[in-house]
Amino acid sequence: MVENRKIDTKALEALGIIDIDCIIVDKVFASCQQRECFPEVEVTLEEGKFGRVRFRPGFIVPNSLKVTDIEGQPDFRRVRFTVRIPYNILNPKGEVIAEDFLPDIYKDIVLYIPDARDEFDFRIVVETQSVVLAPPVQSGNTVTFPVGTFIIVKVVGTVQLMIPSFGYCPEPPECTEFSPADVCDAFENADFPDFFPPQLPRHP
């Protein structure tokens, strides 16, 4: 228990730590990485000119998550779910002209999910990063591009942790007010130009 742990206060003071705080945080109990490649993703544009692809955060499809025990492997579970990743097609001006999803990604993996009281809630969380692997090819209204997706799967639970503390954060700096650029600012600070053409160098 925390109450029985001996804390070396002198060592903490030497590090500039002034307190020990208890905080409530999401702790990652287990995580793993995977990757998927889609050699050819095709989207049809109803209108507008293709500019680029913008990916949105992937998510677990509702009602697709299934966690089951594995015989002979205590504290490990079979976890099955479907990941779906949205993306937007933008025109050269950055406006969305089409929306779609990458093909669904089906996962059937083993994760460390220890036994816990019934009221403790473990959550399966996914993070994704998708990249276009080659320049998109447009033929008429159809755009085709290959995509690679990196996936991190995490087992997360909310816990209370004891951590060293340096105290409250200092006051932040003043906010920067937005002001439109003034074309005269650069002119006012520019070096004064030469008014006269160069002369022929004189030789001794």
**What's the confidence (pLDDT) of residue 1?**
37
**What's the confidence (pLDDT) of residue 7?**
62
pLDDT tens for residues 136-156? 998 888 999 999 999 999 999
- Kindly state whether residue 200 falls inside one of the protein's structural domains: no
Residue 132: give the domain boundaries: 8-189
- Kindly state whether residue 197 falls inside one of the protein's structural domains: no
Query: What are the two backbone dihedrals, phi and then psi, of residue 32, each rounded to the nearest 5 degrees?
Result: -155, 160
Query: What are the two backbone dihedrals, phi and then psi, of residue 94, each rounded to the nearest 5 degrees?
Result: 85, 10
- Kindly state whether residue 122 falls inside one of the protein's structural domains: yes
- Kindly state whether residue 2 falls inside one of the protein's structural domains: no
Contacts of 56 (CB under 8 A, 6+ apart): 85, 86, 87, 88
- Kindly state whether residue 152 falls inside one of the protein's structural domains: yes
**What's the confidence (pLDDT) of residue 2?**
42
- Kindly state whether residue 103 falls inside one of the protein's structural domains: yes
Residues of the chain with pLDDT under 70: 1-18, 203-204
The domain total for the chain is: 1
